[in-house]
Chain A
Amino acid sequence: MIHFVLLVSRQGKVRLTKWYSPYAQKERSKVIRELSGVILNRGPKLCNFVEWRGYKVVYKRYASLYFCMCIDQEDNELEVLEIIHHYVEILDRYFGSVCELDLIFNFHKAYYILDELLIAGELQESSKKTVARIISAQDQLVEAAKEEASSISNIIAQATK
């Protein structure tokens, strides 16, 4: 299973963390510090796997961002690389050629998409289209609620004029 997902920028800034196994707050920052130290310092041609505390961390760099997933020893590292790529493609489709800034200012969206892709540290959906469809359906629900709220406040505003 995937124990956690980590997005770290090349400068070591955390852009997204998702923990599927319990780690205390202190432990989390320690893990992040330790791993970003190891991963950011690895050369470009090396393999995408790092052995760490009896687990394996699969990472892949996309532009300025490192996508890392921590898995068990017996898991399929190559598949996790595909999962990372899968996630990136969905982000790309959603934001339209995604960049780091998109993920900073819309970090919650990145989380929503991840939640449609993974639950309990396991893959949920292999179709990018399905994920995109579910996310946009939920975005529409939010938009509809917003419009409703603003129209109600308009009515109240007019009524109290």
Chain B
Amino acid sequence: MNPFSSGTRLSDMIRAIRASKTAAEERAVVRKECAAIRASINENDQDYRHRDLAKLMFIHMLGYPTHFGQMECLKLIASPGFPEKRIGYLGLMLLLDERQEVLMLVTNSLKQDMNHTNQYIVGLALCALGNICSAEMARDLAPEVERLLQFRDPNIRKKAALCAIRIIRKVPDLSENFINPGAALLKEKHHGVLITGVHLCTEICSVSSEALEYFRKKCTEGLVRTLRDIANSPYSPEYDVAGITDPFLHIRLLKLLRVLGQGDAEASDCMNDILAQVASKTESNKNAGNAILYECVQTIMSIEENGGLRVLAINILGKFLSNRDNNIRYVALNMLMRALTVDSQAVQRHRATILECVKDSDASIQKRALELIYLLVNENNVKPLAKDLIEYLEVSDEDFKGDLTAKICSIVEKFAPEKIWYIDQMLKVLSEAGTYVKEDVWHALIVVITNAPDLHGYAVRALYRALHTSSEQETLVRVAIWCIGEYADLLVNNAGMLEVEDPITVTESDAVDIVEIAIKHHTSDVTTKAMALIALLKISSRFPSCSERVNSIIGQNKGSFVLELQQRSLEFSSVIQKHQNIRSSLVERMPVLDEATFSGRRAGSLPASVSTSGKSSLGIPNGVAKAAAAPLVDLLDLSSDDTPAPTSSSNNFLQDLLGVDLTQPSAQPVSGTMQPSQAGADILLDLLSIGTPAPVQNGSTNGDLLSMQDNNTPLASLDTISSTSPTAPSSMMDLLDGFGPTPPKIEDKGPAYPSIVAFESSSLKIEFNLAKQPETPQTTDIEAKFTNLTPNVYTDFLFQAAVPKFLQLHLDPASSNSLPANGSIKQTMRVTNSQQGKKPIVMRMRVGYKINGKDVLEEGQINNFPRGL
């Protein structure tokens, strides 16, 4: 041994690390050790190699980088002795994973060790292979594993079986080779081999239906016999767990039987007796027994129908559900979820208990139970269930409220028997947990309210009341002020009273008060304030007597630091002061929002998905169209609830309408064509939301707009403000100039588009200049500009592009095929969009060039084309 080595012993290092009082001290110790280990690696010190690696593993566990030790593992594995190999393989499994290239170097050592005369070395190699092999290694070493499945020692056979599982997971095609050896393992007596063998067969069945058929024919009876033997076996100390012989083997066998019995009456029939025996005889007072029962129930639920067994299984679940142990209740809920597709009536019977579980103190149980309840809701039980859940919302944990709120909203939307009930429930949710209500949900509420003319008055009065009690809930405030803005007159004169309502007296100034409170409240964010400004403008028109006061409130925001608010405030106050004659038509009540469009947009703007999810996401529109939703649809819908942010297009919808596009002002480039169905509403609102980049299309006809043009009143005062509008100054001007004597010019040129950066890497930037000829609206001319960002010359430059079928692409030759250093070249192309207005342009592109004779290839997808091209 090297007497000059300064290395410390492993235990000394661990002690030193443990003795560190601060993180900095610990880092210092680790740094020193790592330096010593590196030095010893450089010296190629053989005596300390295994100790160094052991230290590195400890350091690795603490989270420090240890990649420099990877090669040491390989050296240790390649050395002849068992102790070195043992630690080498351990290091390999800890420090590397299947994605590292270095791993390939070990393939040969593994192969040699798998042929070693010492069975423990064979075992080490198999263990490493099973834990970290990559697809490539799986292919290379599968024959060795196959051979070792017949090794004389059972401990090697079981390891080989698990390796085979890993190999099949990596390369399913290789499963064929393991069918016969796998079947042979099922006849073994050694429990380890049997457990792994059964598992291997289960895995093979999952990737190959032929193998499944084969095992079903040849092995079902044998497996049933094995399960019977093990279930009836007398006490055996080696495998005993809480009075049961080898619960692990029980579970593996039940799993494989489940796979074999599924969809095959004959095989299912064959296993009925033993399943009945396991289900009825297994002790359920210990965890091991319950684990078996749980697995057995799952098998009974999956195999072909046998009434008696199903009853037995459901009873076991019922017992589980009333168990005092939380673990057991959890798995019961889990299992009931799966049983739902088999026997939903039986699950419905436990509804009350499940509802209790939603209120459990354990978050895991709550979550499971909530998901189950969500699936149990139908139009018959929605009222009591929603009532119960909303009541619980008041007292539930903050962490849980988000989930609970999302689910309640979804239930209420989907199964609401009538709109008034839906509005009531949503109001309760908003007042209780408004902060957790997702954007698209309260947008949907507004859409529903506008679509129910007889409930306008009711809704606005209820919201007014709710606002008084829960003014802290942002989303409630938003919905309320939106409605007050729209239906202020109904609020004040109690119009359209329903019988169930108590009359309230609200004066005109009360209505202004409540909006003023909202705009001044410290918790209100910009969106809320912006909405409040619009509401005030509308109120000023509905109640001319309050006009002065409204104007002064609006005026207070003229100095706001937020551009949006400042701008609105200036514009609105000028509308109030100077343009009385157009004000009332400007702030007319919103046209009814189109429910179908909204739910379509909400489900994602793809036309294909509208048809499927449109039905499930909002059942309200027609009031009755609520066929019992299949659990599958529920699940789909459920998952969409869980995604934190809905697709941006769904967000845009109401934001467009409300003119509050603060979140993504630049994401919405100027587009000349609006979707025709909404052009009316959009234009009206765009007038109100001048700060947003969405422009007004000049030629489109809309009563309000035209009537304003007739007025011929130049809104000169707005000009100064609008020049700050960042992305769309030209369209802004058009809107305002449109009232003046000169007609807009832009119509002649066709709409203008900003240029986009289609692609940018460290070496190359591609910009697109877009243009359209007015006579061919479907065709877009693109001038691509390629800029070389490096000081090297690119030669043999070639740009290629591909587009989907609905597009046609014509590519002109580039201005040059070499790109000078830091210079640029141009290339024009023409894209014709046959689905213009429905689908945006997308393009996949590839650029190839040479730097100093070396090939470079860059690829990318361009999907930031402006909408409507």
Report the Cα distance A78→B291, complex, angstroms: 5
Task: Using known A-B contacts A111-B94, A119-B130, A122-B165, determine if residue A127 contacts B120 with beta carbons closer than 8 Å.
Answer: no
Which of B97, B127, B162, B326 is close to A47, meaning CB atoms less than 8 Å apart?
Answer: B326
B288 close to chain A: CB less than 8 A = yes
B329: chain A residues at CB < 8 Å are 47
B81: chain A residues at CB < 8 Å are 145
Which of A16, A76, A141 is close to B251, meaning CB atoms less than 8 Å apart?
Answer: A76
Which of B11, B118, B291, B328 is close to A82, meaning CB atoms less than 8 Å apart?
Answer: B291
| Contacting pair B155 A22 (CB below 8 A) | no
Report the Cα distance A77→B334, complex, angstroms: 10
A93 close to chain B: CB less than 8 A = no
B316 close to chain A: CB less than 8 A = no
Residue of A nearest to B87 (CB): A108
| Contacting pair A76 B294 (CB below 8 A) | yes
| Contacting pair A120 B65 (CB below 8 A) | no
B123: chain A residues at CB < 8 Å are 134
| Contacting pair B90 A111 (CB below 8 A) | yes
A19 close to chain B: CB less than 8 A = yes
B542 close to chain A: CB less than 8 A = no
| Contacting pair A123 B165 (CB below 8 A) | no
Task: Using known A-B contacts A115-B127, A119-B126, A119-B162, determine if residue A22 contacts B287 with beta carbons closer than 8 Å.
Answer: no
B362 close to chain A: CB less than 8 A = yes
| Contacting pair A47 B61 (CB below 8 A) | no
| Contacting pair B120 A108 (CB below 8 A) | no
| Contacting pair B238 A129 (CB below 8 A) | yes
B249 close to chain A: CB less than 8 A = yes
B166: chain A residues at CB < 8 Å are 119-120
Report the Cα distance A29→B14, complex, angstroms: 20
B689 close to chain A: CB less than 8 A = no
B118: chain A residues at CB < 8 Å are 141
| Contacting pair A126 B246 (CB below 8 A) | yes
Considering only residues 72-97 of chain A, those with a C-beta below 8 Å from chain B are 76-79, 81-83, 86
A46: chain B residues at CB < 8 Å are 326, 361-365
| Contacting pair B196 A124 (CB below 8 A) | yes
Report the Cα distance A153→B3, complex, angstroms: 13
| Contacting pair A124 B367 (CB below 8 A) | no
| Contacting pair A49 B364 (CB below 8 A) | yes
| Contacting pair A127 B327 (CB below 8 A) | no
From A19, A49, A86, residue with most partner B Cβ within 10 Å? A49
B330 close to chain A: CB less than 8 A = yes
Task: Using known A-B contacts A47-B365, A124-B158, A145-B82, determine if residue A81 contacts B165 with beta carbons closer than 8 Å.
Answer: no
A79: chain B residues at CB < 8 Å are 247-248, 251, 291, 295
- Distance (whole angstroms) from the CB of A139 to the closest CB of chain B: 10
Report the Cα distance A17→B83, complex, angstroms: 22
Report the Cα distance A132→B262, complex, angstroms: 38
Number of interface residues of B (CB under 8 A): 73
| Contacting pair B364 A51 (CB below 8 A) | yes
Report the Cα distance A138→B86, complex, angstroms: 9
Residue of B nearest to A127 (CB): B238
- Mark interface residues in A109-125 (1 if CB within 8 Å of B CB, else 0): 00110010001101111
B93: chain A residues at CB < 8 Å are 18, 115
| Contacting pair B288 A82 (CB below 8 A) | yes
Considering only residues 68-100 of chain B, those with a C-beta below 8 Å from chain A are 81-83, 86-87, 90, 93-94, 97-99
Which of B54, B62, B97, B365 is close to A14, meaning CB atoms less than 8 Å apart?
Answer: B62
A142 close to chain B: CB less than 8 A = yes
| Contacting pair B1 A124 (CB below 8 A) | no
Number of interface residues of A (CB under 8 A): 55
| Contacting pair B61 A126 (CB below 8 A) | no
Residue of A nearest to B242 (CB): A82
A50: chain B residues at CB < 8 Å are 364
A107: chain B residues at CB < 8 Å are 57-58, 61
Report the Cα distance A23→B365, complex, angstroms: 28
Which of A47, A125, A142 is close to B362, meaning CB atoms less than 8 Å apart?
Answer: A47
| Contacting pair B196 A108 (CB below 8 A) | no
- Distance (whole angstroms) from the CB of A57 to the closest CB of chain B: 10
| Contacting pair B327 A141 (CB below 8 A) | no
From B18, B86, B367, residue with most partner A Cβ within 10 Å? B86
Considering only residues 664-697 of chain B, those with a C-beta below 8 Å from chain A are none
| Contacting pair B246 A17 (CB below 8 A) | no
B529 close to chain A: CB less than 8 A = no
- Distance (whole angstroms) from the CB of A146 to the closest CB of chain B: 7
Task: Using known A-B contacts A125-B158, A126-B192, determine if residue A119 contacts B127 with beta carbons closer than 8 Å.
Answer: yes
A104 close to chain B: CB less than 8 A = yes
B328: chain A residues at CB < 8 Å are 78
Residue of B nearest to A89 (CB): B241
B290 close to chain A: CB less than 8 A = yes
| Contacting pair B238 A22 (CB below 8 A) | no
A64 close to chain B: CB less than 8 A = no
- Distance (whole angstroms) from the CB of A155 to the closest CB of chain B: 14
Report the Cα distance A39→B196, complex, angstroms: 31
| Contacting pair A29 B63 (CB below 8 A) | yes
From B58, B294, B330, residue with most partner A Cβ within 10 Å? B330
Residue of B nearest to A148 (CB): B81
A160 close to chain B: CB less than 8 A = no
Report the Cα distance A150→B490, complex, angstroms: 98
- Mark interface residues in A37-50 (1 if CB within 8 Å of B CB, else 0): 00000010111111
A146: chain B residues at CB < 8 Å are 83
A24: chain B residues at CB < 8 Å are 99
Residue of A nearest to B53 (CB): A108
Report the Cα distance A86→B242, complex, angstroms: 12
Residue of B nearest to A125 (CB): B192
Which of A51, A78, A141 is close to B331, meaning CB atoms less than 8 Å apart?
Answer: A78
B461 close to chain A: CB less than 8 A = no
Residue of A nearest to B291 (CB): A78
- Distance (whole angstroms) from the CB of A64 to the closest CB of chain B: 14
A137 close to chain B: CB less than 8 A = yes
Report the Cα distance A129→B298, complex, angstroms: 31
- Mark interface residues in B152-196 (1 if CB within 8 Å of A CB, else 0): 000100110011011001000000000000000000000110011
Report the Cα distance A15→B14, complex, angstroms: 12
Report the Cα distance A32→B62, complex, angstroms: 11
A138: chain B residues at CB < 8 Å are 82, 86, 120
From A25, A107, A120, A137, residue with most partner B Cβ within 10 Å? A120
| Contacting pair A108 B327 (CB below 8 A) | no
A127: chain B residues at CB < 8 Å are 191-192, 238-239
Which of A32, A76, A123, A129 is close to B291, meaning CB atoms less than 8 Å apart?
Answer: A76
| Contacting pair A77 B58 (CB below 8 A) | no
A154 close to chain B: CB less than 8 A = no
B822: chain A residues at CB < 8 Å are none
Report the Cα distance A16→B365, complex, angstroms: 28
B159: chain A residues at CB < 8 Å are 119, 124
Q: A48-B326, A138-B82 are in contact. List 15 more A-B contacts (CB 8 A).
A: A18-B94, A23-B97, A46-B363, A78-B287, A78-B290, A78-B294, A79-B251, A79-B295, A104-B14, A105-B14, A111-B94, A115-B90, A123-B196, A124-B196, A153-B1
Closest 10 interchain pairs by CB? A78-B291, A47-B326, A119-B130, A119-B162, A120-B166, A46-B362, A120-B130, A125-B192, A126-B248, A142-B83
Q: Which residues of B contact A (CB under 8 A)?
A: 1, 11, 14, 18, 54, 57-58, 61-63, 65, 81-83, 86-87, 90, 93-94, 97-99, 118, 120, 123, 126-127, 130-131, 155, 158-159, 162-163, 165-166, 169, 191-192, 195-196, 199, 238-239, 241, 246-249, 251-252, 287-288, 290-291, 294-295, 298, 325-331, 334, 361-365, 367-368
Q: Which residues of A contact B (CB under 8 A)?
A: 14-20, 22-25, 29, 32, 43, 45-51, 76-79, 81-83, 86, 104-105, 107-108, 111-112, 115, 119-120, 122-130, 134, 137-138, 141-142, 145-146, 153
Q: List 28 A-B contacts (CB under 8 A).
A: A14-B61, A17-B61, A18-B94, A46-B361, A47-B362, A48-B327, A49-B327, A77-B327, A78-B290, A79-B248, A107-B61, A108-B57, A108-B90, A112-B90, A119-B131, A119-B163, A120-B130, A120-B131, A120-B162, A120-B165, A120-B166, A124-B196, A125-B158, A125-B191, A125-B192, A126-B248, A138-B86, A141-B83
